[in-house]
């Protein structure tokens, strides 16, 4: 654009040199005014082209991870006749993640769980990172002869995890169960994937080195 303006101004100068001095005297400053106007238009267009607004990544990448969830809590259970039992428990512990695209190194992980031996498990979980940002998920699971399998579905988050979607799954094994309801356990085979709402300058809303 600037080269075009320079060439145009040179062309206009040659036109001026070919005119008579009398014509130039009758129209003082006319060509100078035209060149100034043209330059202003060119510079304005160039400025508009350079000022491209930052745009958000419209297709955030999936962040795959694996990890280990360790937690302890208290469980209360009741009998529902025969071998059927139901229990409610709350757990608190830590979640360590692995993988090059993990959303963070680790979280404080809390969960509230209702388990029915006949219908399975439902629960809610909150993961909190070191800057107090949260990831929310719903838990569902069932116990079979081969063991238990729990699936988590991400339903949102705060801060850098805003709009979290995706799933993860794991099995759970109890390491300690006492008669007064104190329980402690650990996940096995935990893995999943998650993505977040795009943010300006930070695709995916997080980093993998934390």
pLDDT tens string 16-43: 444 444 454 455 555 555 655 655 554 4
Do 155 and 87 reside in the same domain of the chain?
A: yes
Do 91 and 26 reside in the same domain of the chain?
A: no
Tokens of 116: 């029915």
- Do β-strands 182-195 and 147-157 pair in parallel, antiparallel, or remain unpaired? unpaired
Do 26 and 76 reside in the same domain of the chain?
A: no
DSSP 8-class letter at 83: T
Determine the Cα angle at 183 with ends 182 and 185, to 5°: 160
| Structural domain for 72, as ranges | 63-205
Q: How many structural domains compose the chain?
A: 2
Do 10 and 84 reside in the same domain of the chain?
A: no
Would residue 143 count as lying in a domain?
yes
Q: What is the pLDDT of residue 160?
A: 94
Do 46 and 67 reside in the same domain of the chain?
A: no
User: 173 with 138: CB under 8 angstroms?
Assistant: no
User: How many C-beta neighbours within 10 Å does residue 131 have?
Assistant: 9
Q: What is the pLDDT of residue 54?
A: 45
Q: What is the pLDDT of residue 4?
A: 43
CATH code for the domain in which residue 169 is found: 2.40.350
Do 41 and 110 reside in the same domain of the chain?
A: no
User: 53 with 91: CB under 8 angstroms?
Assistant: no
Q: What is the pLDDT of residue 25?
A: 45
Blockwise average pLDDT, block size 10, the chain, 210 residues:
44 48 49 58 50 53 96 95 94 96 96 94 97 97 75 96 97 92 95 87 42
Would residue 37 count as lying in a domain?
yes
User: 115 with 91: CB under 8 angstroms?
Assistant: no
Residue ranges of E strands in the chain: 63-79, 85-98, 106-116, 120-128, 134-144, 147-157, 165-177, 182-195
Would residue 131 count as lying in a domain?
yes
Do 45 and 80 reside in the same domain of the chain?
A: no
Q: What is the pLDDT of residue 101?
A: 92
Would residue 198 count as lying in a domain?
yes
Q: What is the pLDDT of residue 58?
A: 56
Do 113 and 31 reside in the same domain of the chain?
A: no
Residues 6+ apart with CB under 8 A from 65: 97, 98, 99, 101, 102, 103, 168, 191, 192, 193, 194
Report which of 126, 120, 127, 136 is spatially closest to residue 87, judged by C-alpha positions. Answer: 120
Do 41 and 88 reside in the same domain of the chain?
A: no
Would residue 77 count as lying in a domain?
yes
Report the alpha-carbon distance of residue 140 to residue 122 in Å, rounded: 5
Do 102 and 191 reside in the same domain of the chain?
A: yes
User: 65 in helix, strand or coil?
Assistant: strand
User: How many C-beta neighbours within 10 Å does residue 147 have?
Assistant: 10
């Amino acid at each position: 654009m600037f080269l075009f303006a320079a060439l145009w101004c040179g062309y206009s100068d040659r036109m001026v040199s070919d005119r008579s001095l009398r014509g130039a005297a009758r129209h003082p400053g006319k060509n100078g005014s035209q060149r100034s106007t043209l330059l202003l238009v060119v510079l304005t267009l160039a400025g508009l082209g350079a000022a491209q607004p930052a745009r958000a990544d419209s297709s955030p990448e999936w962040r795959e991870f694996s990890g280990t969830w360790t937690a302890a809590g208290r469980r209360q259970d009741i009998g529902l006749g025969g071998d059927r039992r139901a229990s409610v428990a709350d757990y608190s512990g830590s979640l360590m993640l692995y993988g090059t695209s993990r959303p963070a190194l680790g979280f404080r992980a809390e969960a509230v769980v209702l388990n029915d031996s006949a219908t399975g498990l439902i629960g809610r979980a909150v993961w909190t990172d070191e800057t107090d940002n949260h990831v929310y998920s719903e838990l569902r699971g069932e116990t079979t002869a081969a063991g238990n399998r729990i699936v988590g579905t991400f339903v949102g988050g705060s801060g850098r995890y805003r709009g979290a979607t995706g799933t993860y799954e794991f099995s759970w094994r109890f390491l300690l169960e006492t008669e007064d309801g104190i329980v402690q356990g650990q996940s096995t085979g935990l893995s999943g994937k998650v993505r977040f709402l795009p943010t300006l300058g930070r695709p995916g809303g997080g980093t993998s080195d934390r």
